[in-house]
Amino acid sequence: MRTPGKGRGTVRPIRLLGDPVLRTECDTVRSFDADLGRLIDDMFVSMHAAEGVGLAANQIGVSLRVFVYDCEDDKGRRHVGHVVNPVLVAEGGETLLADEGCLSVPGLHFPTPRADHAVVEGVDANGEPIRVEGTGYFARCLLHETYHLGGKVYIDFLTGDTRREALRTIRSADWSQVGQ
């Protein structure tokens, strides 16, 4: 698996909610070449520059099924990596309600229900099969990023008053293009 290097890659702007690329299902990666490696490097440096723990390719305007992560699990273990063409193969355990945010919805956090266990399978930058399993906060990260690649954002999982509050807050945010 490719290890992200400090200083490798170019910081790309994060796309904000309202940009159609965030609501479009991403395409399967078919070329495992230097361009894919550069994309992964750019995603890592963009994620770190924005102080995030995960980033999907569509969040930097690239509609390909790739995400990166640098996230701790519920036991404080750090997980760093990427998944190309991820498929969510398991989502379960207890449903936890915790504040969740998103680099594409900057500065806002809302209590979001997520399973406390997730398993994602895909391939690495070289096309080799990988399986990533997470619990707690890391499971939340895996779910969040995998769903991004399907055109979903975390506010899609909110219900009732929380969803109404989130949508109201997003519409009035100074960065928002939602509802305009």
Q: Taking Cα atoms as reference points, which of 140, 168, 119, 163 lies closest to residue 54?
A: 140
145: annotated active-site residue: yes
Residues 72, 100, 121, 145: which is the catalytic one? 145
Query: HSE of 42 in the Cβ direction (CA atoms, 13 Å)?
Result: 19
User: CA of 121: how far to CAs of 6, 31, 125, in Å?
Assistant: 26, 18, 13
Residue 80 tokens read as 């760093």
- H/E stretch holding 169 reads helix 160-172
SS (HEC) of 54-98: EEEHHHHCCCECEEEEEEECCCCCEEEEEEEEEEEEEEEEEEEEE
Residues identified as active-site: 145
